[in-house]
């Protein structure tokens, strides 16, 4: 049976997350408009930096729970990387959909709201209720896959 568009793009996001070098949670994201892939992203450190596999995980060392103290992480989130790739390459993402293999955190939610994403399809959870509240207030369509 042929997959729906949501199934198709979420499957691609699942594949994208395999590039992640995060030791705690691998996440993939795909930004799509008119059923065409614009950019992808996965969580990992910025270019030219040692991956967490080499440097270790500061969050684990400090026993920081998931969803807290985002600033104490060397990595960018998958959504952030997908938006950054669009910006670097001059790709307009206003009005697009993002597929993510985990619920966006509050930082990513704010970035997605500001970037003009109109629809978020996510799979999995993340301990961050404020992000869901802000997404609801922003009137972005949010679909738990």
* Residue 79 annotated among the catalytic residues of the structure: yes
Please check if 77 is assigned to a binding site. Answer: yes
Query: What's the CA gap between 145 and 142, in Å, rounded?
Result: 9
Please check if 73 is assigned to a binding site. Answer: no
Catalytic residue among 7, 14, 61, 79: 79
Q: Are 108 and 130 in contact (CB under 8 A)?
A: no
Please check if 108 is assigned to a binding site. Answer: yes
Binding residue positions = 77, 105, 108
Binding residue positions for Zn(2+) = 77, 105, 108
Just list the catalytic residues.
79
């Amino acid at each position: 049976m042929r997959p729906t568009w949501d199934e198709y793009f979420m499957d691609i996001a699942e594949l994208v997350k395999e590039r992640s070098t995060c030791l705690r949670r691998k996440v993939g994201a795909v930004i799509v408009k008119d059923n065409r892939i614009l950019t992808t992203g996965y969580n990992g450190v910025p270019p030219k930096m040692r991956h967490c596999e080499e440097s270790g995980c500061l969050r684990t060392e400090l026993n920081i729970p998931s969803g807290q103290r985002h600033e104490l992480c060397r990595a960018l989130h998958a959504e952030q990387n997908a938006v950054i790739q669009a910006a670097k390459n001059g790709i307009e993402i206003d009005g697009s959909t993002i597929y993510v293999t985990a619920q966006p955190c509050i930082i990513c939610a704010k970035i997605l709201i500001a970037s003009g994403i109109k629809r978020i399809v996510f799979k999995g959870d993340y301990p961050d209720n404020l992000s869901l509240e802000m997404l609801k207030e922003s009137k972005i369509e949010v679909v738990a896959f």
